[in-house]
Amino acid sequence: MKKSVQYFTINAVERLDAEHILIEAVSPVPLQGILPGQFVNIDVEKSKTTFLRRPISIHDVDEAKNSMKIFVKAVGDGTRAIYEMQKGEKLNTMFPLGNSFSYSNSQKPLLVGGGFGLAPLYYLAKKIAQNGIRPTVIVGARNSKNIFLTEKFQDIADVHVATNDGSLGEKGMVTEHSLFTNLENFDKIFVCGPEPMMKAVGKIAVSKNVECEVSLENTMACGIGSCLCCVADTKDGHVCVCTEGPVFNIKDLKW
Amino acid sequence: MKKSVQYFTINAVERLDAEHILIEAVSPVPLQGILPGQFVNIDVEKSKTTFLRRPISIHDVDEAKNSMKIFVKAVGDGTRAIYEMQKGEKLNTMFPLGNSFSYSNSQKPLLVGGGFGLAPLYYLAKKIAQNGIRPTVIVGARNSKNIFLTEKFQDIADVHVATNDGSLGEKGMVTEHSLFTNLENFDKIFVCGPEPMMKAVGKIAVSKNVECEVSLENTMACGIGSCLCCVADTKDGHVCVCTEGPVFNIKDLKW
Amino acid sequence: MVDLSFKIKDLYFKNPVLTASGTFGYGPEFDDFVDVSELGGVIVKGTTLEHREGNPYPRMAETPSGMLNAVGLQNKGIDYFIKHIYSEIKSYKTNMIVNVSGSAVKDYVEVAEKLNHLDAIPAIELNISCPNVKEGGMAFGTSCESAQSVISAVRKVYKKVMIVKLSPNVTDIASIAKTAEDEGADAVSLINTLLGMAIDAEKRRPILSTVTGGLSGPAVKPVALRMVWQVSKAVKIPIIGLGGIMNATDAIEFFLAGASAIQIGTANFIDPEISIKVIKGIEEYMLRHNFKTIDEMVGKLEC
Amino acid sequence: MVDLSFKIKDLYFKNPVLTASGTFGYGPEFDDFVDVSELGGVIVKGTTLEHREGNPYPRMAETPSGMLNAVGLQNKGIDYFIKHIYSEIKSYKTNMIVNVSGSAVKDYVEVAEKLNHLDAIPAIELNISCPNVKEGGMAFGTSCESAQSVISAVRKVYKKVMIVKLSPNVTDIASIAKTAEDEGADAVSLINTLLGMAIDAEKRRPILSTVTGGLSGPAVKPVALRMVWQVSKAVKIPIIGLGGIMNATDAIEFFLAGASAIQIGTANFIDPEISIKVIKGIEEYMLRHNFKTIDEMVGKLEC
Ligand SMILES: Cc1cc2nc3c(=O)[nH]c(=O)nc-3n(C[C@H](O)[C@H](O)[C@H](O)COP(=O)(O)OP(=O)(O)OC[C@H]3O[C@@H](n4cnc5c(N)ncnc54)[C@H](O)[C@@H]3O)c2cc1C
Ligand SMILES: Cc1cc2nc3c(=O)[nH]c(=O)nc-3n(C[C@H](O)[C@H](O)[C@H](O)COP(=O)(O)OP(=O)(O)OC[C@H]3O[C@@H](n4cnc5c(N)ncnc54)[C@H](O)[C@@H]3O)c2cc1C
Ligand SMILES: Cc1cc2nc3c(=O)[nH]c(=O)nc-3n(C[C@H](O)[C@H](O)[C@H](O)COP(=O)(O)O)c2cc1C
Ligand SMILES: Cc1cc2nc3c(=O)[nH]c(=O)nc-3n(C[C@H](O)[C@H](O)[C@H](O)COP(=O)(O)O)c2cc1C
Ligand code: FES
Ligand code: FES
């Protein structure tokens, strides 16, 4: 799909708590052909202190309604201003950016998400489900208050939860979840979350010889491979996360 | 009145055309003691390209409702963002700033306004009216489309209009209005508008020996006499328009 | 109608809007957004003799109305450029200009020599002002003597149009521009990035892996404008102005200050279509102000 | 509890937050907004030997995340200061410091001598970096030789704490800082404004009456931080950091880069209460990061 800059119109906002928001926005151009794992780059026009665009994963696409969803956590001024947007406002959006998860060859996929890392996994789960496969999803967080969206996954996936304090699901880190003891049950793992978490999952995947893709969140300036700011260190040297990624097979990363 | 920074809450907006807006905003602190000619300095929080505060005249004060009105013309990014504000939004306001028109000794005042220069004159007219005097007001503009607020003045003042194209009121510049032929009928003129207009009025006032006060609109950084950016050249040298002004008797200016 | 063209020596540019090195890739990155052939020119990524991996991540920090970068001239080297990239970009119908960087005089010379042979590369931009490499780079651009050494050496071997890109991290940029002119530069471009730094207070660490990096974006525009103005009083060769240009009005300001052309850098990241919009905006301004040629507008500041 | 105090020689500052010269008037301008006595110090408006009217209006241009000023040291001269202003401000319970400017060495010396006698003025800040006056000012701060001449002359007559304020418009600020230290400065403050320019494209005129002016505000913070860091490697005397500080986080960045104290300038215009908020914010940060004294935090950047 050709990249472009478009003004999306926000047509629904769901504030999940004081920091997390799910936004649905309608595109003025058809949204056919967006791949799971791709992201948009948003110019936050009303934030004085936000100069560059902000990369945000595509959480879901409804091709019929020509709409897209994003799931955003307010961590700084840019995402805070997005959190405060209202229905009817316009979202200056550059899209679709990045590569894609390679899910088509996976029969038993495991999706692992933490924090706003869950964002790209919903559209991935949906695409997998459209292929007739029911994926397994584990969501990890510090406690039950930081678990979001699991109910939305339930229609299309088997959802498991791990919380550090045991307030929801199994107690412990996501990598301590019982599913990880039999990781061989899965043929591919798709991970998105804080880097330490992705590295921990990656390590186990390697040890158990299960394929593993991670979605990196390097800071970006351009989002289209022109500034070389967002590079990941791979076996081929520095490559742009915004074009060669954000999804990488961990065997290509120098982790 | 002590100066302070307060968040006013916008409780009414009246968009007069695509550029002009009348905003009513409620103060969290009492508004007793504001003088006509004083201004506020607004931090336009949602405009990326507006760094400094923007000085805006106090158009009206309703002490009972604790509210103030401002009349703003969108000329650049800062005032455009103010124009786009909605009821319920907060206005970061530093106030009250500047001196005041000296109207108490005038029995036959003439108020002359052009463009957003009309802004401070309403509160002045109201104060004069409270003293039992009905002021005369002339509003000048290019054409009838650029004449605003005259109906609001009518209750408290005799209103005259001059337009360059004669589409409303007398045809010609404000200084060509018939009232100016008998300027001696007035004992003081209060002017606010574009500098060339104020200078033109000032010149006639001097020639007819009528006192004249003008409200300057020099660009400002601090609004409180600390940066020395806003100076006017007076017979006493450079003085701050934000503290010694914005209102000056033209006899003090080096015009 | 207005004529947007200008020339450096006898090199014709159809309009005065170029894209800045390091901010526009090699061109194809922007194919989805603009017709690259409509630009006055494209200055491709800084190219060195050898392949360079650049600096470690993180290489970027956002700053108020700007950004710091510490890319460190990541590129695959001149030979790779000639073999693989040149063929891909030579069909663009605009001036494709290579930004030449190095850590020793002989590296600059060698790269320039190789570029001399490429028909579709009508000019080079000598980068003696990159703040993000340990040796060479900016060091060449911060004294007249070292600037002289690189410029005169490259001038000997490079026969086409040679633009010298100046560093703003100096006390007196006009004297360095004068040196460039004296040594045979056909034009100067300014400014490269201002040396800056960003810190993560919570982590108590520099944000960039290299601690300091190059500041670009609208934050630097006032400094860039001032330097263009100063340099325009000092040299007769054309000046290409850049630094924080975000729209056509900004571009006009550079022309008025004395630039014959401009480059757009960081703005491409925020609006990938901006370069074309700026061309249109300049044309509109010229119509409105009755300028028929770019030349009529250059330096027309009423002071 | 945390101890916010610091010292320059034996001059005690209750906290490291000062207000920058030219941005806080003499103090009373801010009485409605803050308790001036709560500040670590106030650096009053640049003061010269003679009365100065400053430059013609317009003197200010807004720029992206910053502003240019060309006030040009408007002030009523040192004698007026001593007679009329001193008595009004000497009761503030904080260090009232006078910023001393001039166009000739002897002017600086004369002003410094007069200030030596004022009990309630424990220090001066030598402004060898003002870009907005024709003679002197910045010229003194852009070469080691000229800096040396002013600093050593003033040092001979001024017995109390002498801070030297450095210009950022130089290739190598560290060497100028070193000169200041060698000539007996008790501290350096940096940065003064960057020389910049703004143009009104529609009117085709410079916005400032003086064409160029001094850039301040968050736009310059990355440059200021880098310079503080460079100077901290070069000198042992305390550094007072400033340039674009808008909040406590910005201030912390300067401490980590090597400053022992900071000044707040342009931010006072946007939030007249900011100086006091920054003091509170620094205290909170220190509690959170377990710093007990400012000194523990200075230069604690993990590179
Ligand atoms: C490909 C990609 C996809 C992303 N998808 C999403 C998403 O779907 N939903 C979402 O909420 N966020 C997502 N992010 C992260 C999001 O872009 C950042 O949170 C955002 O840029 C922060 O901007 P800010 O102005 O709010 O905060 P800033 O003020 O820029 O930063 C605030 C704090 O967050 C940290 N931070 C900034 N950027 C990142 C980052 N990229 N990763 C981790 N920490 C960061 C900073 O170090 C700082 O401590 C994604 C990032 C990338 C690269
Ligand atoms: C004491 C005082 C009271 C004022 N009262 C009002 C008021 O009640 N209503 C109102 O609409 N405006 C008023 N103004 C003018 C208002 O402050 C400016 O229009 C505003 O600052 C412009 O900001 P901006 O970001 O929209 O435009 P900018 O982008 O800053 O400027 C846009 C254009 O407007 C011009 N401009 C900027 N500032 C001024 C100015 N001060 N005077 C004239 N032209 C200017 C610029 O040169 C530029 O061409 C007042 C100004 C002062 C000093
Ligand atoms: C990410 C990035 C990479 C850059 N790489 C180069 C480079 O390789 N060679 C060069 O001469 N300048 C390089 N620059 C500097 C720009 O070409 C330009 O001089 C500078 O960014 C100022 O212009 P701007 O404010 O419009 O971006 C780079 C700038 C950025 C932001
Ligand atoms: C309006 C204005 C006037 C200034 N006047 C002086 C001055 O008289 N003496 C001086 O040393 N610095 C002066 N400065 C520079 C500031 O003290 C400070 O060094 C600079 O603004 C950078 O800090 P900031 O970004 O926090 O404002 C002035 C700055 C401004 C904005
Ligand atoms: S963000 Fe610019 S190359 Fe990836
Ligand atoms: S605006 Fe600062 S002194 Fe008037």
Token digits for B134? 């009905």
Averaged pLDDT of chain A = 95
CA distance A123 to A35: 8
- Is residue B243 very low, low, confident or very high in pLDDT (cuts 50, 70, 90)? very high
User: Taken in order C175, C181, C185, C188, is the CA torsion positive or negative?
Assistant: positive
User: How much is the pLDDT for A196?
Assistant: 93
Give the chain A residue nearest B43 (alpha carbons). Answer: A48
User: How much is the pLDDT for D137?
Assistant: 61
Residue of A54, A239, A240 with the most ligand 5 atoms within 8 Å of its CB, for mutation: A240
Task: Give a yes or no: residue D302 inside a domain.
Answer: no
User: How much is the pLDDT for D142?
Assistant: 84
* Of A15, A16, A77, A5, the residue nearest A47 (C-alpha): A77
Give the chain D residue nearest B3 (alpha carbons). Answer: D32
Q: A134 C-alpha to center of ligand 2: Å?
A: 61
* Range with the largest mean pLDDT of B176-180, C102-106, D241-245: D241-245
For helices D144-157 and D173-182, the axis angle rounded to 10 degrees is 30
pLDDT in tens, B33-81: 999 999 999 999 999 999 999 999 999 999 999 999 999 999 999 999 9
Dihedral angle over CA of C207, C213, C218, C221, nearest 10: 150
User: How much is the pLDDT for C243?
Assistant: 98
Q: D165 C-alpha to center of ligand 4: Å?
A: 11
Residue of B75, B84, B101, B218 with the most ligand 2 atoms within 8 Å of its CB, for mutation: B75
Task: Give a yes or no: residue D175 inside a domain.
Answer: yes
CA distance A75 to A52: 15
Is residue A139 within 8 A of residue A201, CB to CB? The reply is: no
Q: Measured between alpha carbons, how far is residue C27 from residues B27, C77, C270 in Å?
A: 54, 17, 16
- Is residue B255 very low, low, confident or very high in pLDDT (cuts 50, 70, 90)? confident
ipTM, 2 dp = 0.96
- Is residue A141 very low, low, confident or very high in pLDDT (cuts 50, 70, 90)? very high
User: How much is the pLDDT for A122?
Assistant: 97
Residue of A38, A51, A79 with the most ligand 1 atoms within 8 Å of its CB, for mutation: A79
Q: A233 C-alpha to center of ligand 4: Å?
A: 43
User: How much is the pLDDT for A229?
Assistant: 97
Closest-CA residue, ligand 4 atom 5, reads D22
Please state the separation of Cα A108 from the chain's center in Å: 19
Closest-CA residue, ligand 6 atom 3, reads B225
Residue A44: CB atoms within 10 Å: 22
Query: Model-level pTM?
Result: 0.97
Give yes or no for residue D73 CB within 6 A of ligand 4: yes
pLDDT above 70 covers a percentage of chain A that reads 100
Give yes or no for residue A231 CB within 6 A of ligand 5: no
Is residue C64 within 8 A of residue D65, CB to CB? The reply is: yes
pLDDT in tens, D199-239: 999 999 999 999 999 999 999 999 999 999 999 999 999 99
pLDDT above 90 covers a percentage of chain B that reads 93
Task: Give a yes or no: residue C1 inside a domain.
Answer: no
- Is residue D1 very low, low, confident or very high in pLDDT (cuts 50, 70, 90)? confident
Averaged pLDDT of chain B = 95
CA distance B200 to B203: 5
Give the chain B residue nearest D57 (alpha carbons). Answer: B231
Q: How many pairs of residues across A and B have Cβ atoms under 8 Å apart?
A: 10
CA distance A91 to A25: 8
Is residue D59 within 8 A of residue D83, CB to CB? The reply is: no
Q: B230 C-alpha to center of ligand 2: Å?
A: 13
D303 among known catalytic residues: no
Token digits for C294? 């770019």
**In the block, residue with structure tokens 């007196």:** C172
* Contact partners, residue A110, CB within 8 Å, separation at least 6: A135, A136, A137, A138, A179, A183, A186, A188, A189, A190
* Number of the ligand closest to the Cα of D127: 4
Task: Give a yes or no: residue C91 inside a domain.
Answer: yes
Give the chain A residue nearest B49 (alpha carbons). Answer: A48
* Of C257, C256, C192, the residue nearest C228 (C-alpha): C257
pLDDT in tens, D115-159: 999 999 999 999 998 776 665 566 788 888 889 999 999 999 999
Judged by CB atoms within 8 Å, which residues 50-89 of A form the interface with B? 50
Give yes or no for residue B173 CB within 6 A of ligand 4: no
- Which residues does chain D have within 8 Å of residue B223's beta carbon, measured at their own beta carbons? 269
User: How much is the pLDDT for D132?
Assistant: 67
* CATH number of the CATH domain containing C63: 3.20.20.70
User: How much is the pLDDT for C146?
Assistant: 87
Contact B238 D23 (CB under 8 A): no
- Is residue A91 very low, low, confident or very high in pLDDT (cuts 50, 70, 90)? very high
CA distance A190 to A248: 10
Say whether pLDDT at A26 is over 80.
yes
Kindly report the CA angle at B172 between B168 and B175, in degrees rounded to 5?
115
* Number of the ligand closest to the Cα of A221: 5
* β-strand pairing of D123-127 with D161-165: parallel
HEC letters along chain A = CCCEEEEEEEEEEEECCCCEEEEEEECCCCCCCCCCCCEEEEECCCCCCCCCCEEEECCEEECCCCEEEEEEECCCHHHHHHHCCCCCCEEEEEEEECCCCCCCCCCCEEEEEEHHHHHHHHHHHHHHHHCCCCCEEEEEECCHHHCCCHHHHCCCCEEEEEECCCCCCEECCHHHCHHHHHHHHCCEEEEECCHHHHHHHHHHHHHCCCEEEEECCCCCCCCCCCCCCCEEEECCEEEECCCCCCEEEHHHECC
Sheet of A188-192, strand order: A170-171, A158-163, A136-141, A109-114, A188-192, A211-215, A247-249
Number of domains within chain D: 1
pLDDT in tens, D39-73: 999 999 999 999 999 999 999 999 999 999 999 99
Task: Give a yes or no: residue D301 inside a domain.
Answer: no
Domain span at residue C238? 6-296
**In this predicted structure, which of A142-146, C161-165, D107-111 has the lowest mean pLDDT?**
A142-146
User: How much is the pLDDT for D135?
Assistant: 58
User: How much is the pLDDT for C138?
Assistant: 65
Q: Supply the DSSP symbol for D193.
A: P
Sheet of C212-216, strand order: C60-63, C66-69, C212-216, C194-197
Averaged pLDDT of chain C = 95
The one catalytic residue in D130, D166, D208, D278 is: D130
Is residue A230 within 8 A of residue A132, CB to CB? The reply is: no
Give yes or no for residue A116 CB within 6 A of ligand 1: yes
User: How much is the pLDDT for C129?
Assistant: 81
Give yes or no for residue A73 CB within 6 A of ligand 1: yes
User: How much is the pLDDT for C152?
Assistant: 96
Task: Give a yes or no: residue C303 inside a domain.
Answer: no
Atom of ligand 1 nearest to the CA of A245: 1
Which positions of chain C have pLDDT values less than 70?
A: 132-138
Contact D218 C64 (CB under 8 A): yes
Atom of ligand 2 nearest to the CA of B49: 25
pLDDT in tens, C80-134: 999 999 999 999 999 999 999 988 899 999 999 999 999 999 999 999 987 766 6
Q: A243 C-alpha to center of ligand 5: Å?
A: 8
pLDDT in tens, B124-138: 999 999 999 999 999
Closest-CA residue, ligand 1 atom 48, reads A76
* Of C162, C63, C271, A59, the residue nearest D220 (C-alpha): C63
pLDDT in tens, B102-159: 999 999 999 999 888 899 999 999 999 999 999 999 999 999 899 999 999 999 999 9
User: How much is the pLDDT for D144?
Assistant: 84
